[in-house]
Amino acid sequence: MKTLNCDVCGVVIKTPVHLRNYFHKAHRDICESCYDKLEYQMKQTVRNRQPFSFDWYTKYFQDTVEKAVQKGKVDVKVVL
């Protein structure tokens, strides 16, 4: 039996279903909670980018994922 671990936080993903409880992005397997945190972290930067470029977004996403993998977590600053 194969197991799948999140490349960011290292949590074992039980019964992995692609695009439901794990995501394969930037050549990494990311659990749902880490993916949600990454999306939240990137949201304001992506919205304010003018003009938007998909090449820029791809590089920005890959860099953000690699930073999270190196730290072992996603740093999210909650703004209330």
| pLDDT tens figures, 12-52 | 999 999 999 999 999 999 999 999 999 999 998 899 888 98
Question: What's the pLDDT score for residue 78?
Answer: 60
In a domain, 8, yes or no: yes
CA angle 61, 4, 12 (to 5 degrees): 95
pLDDT higher than threshold 90 for residue 80: no
In a domain, 77, yes or no: no
In a domain, 17, yes or no: yes
29 neighbors 7 (Cβ within 8 angstroms): yes
In a domain, 30, yes or no: yes
Q: Which domain holds residue 18?
A: 4-64
**Total-model pTM:** 0.86
Question: What's the pLDDT score for residue 5?
Answer: 96
Question: What's the pLDDT score for residue 68?
Answer: 94
pLDDT higher than threshold 60 for residue 79: no
Number of domains in the chain: 1
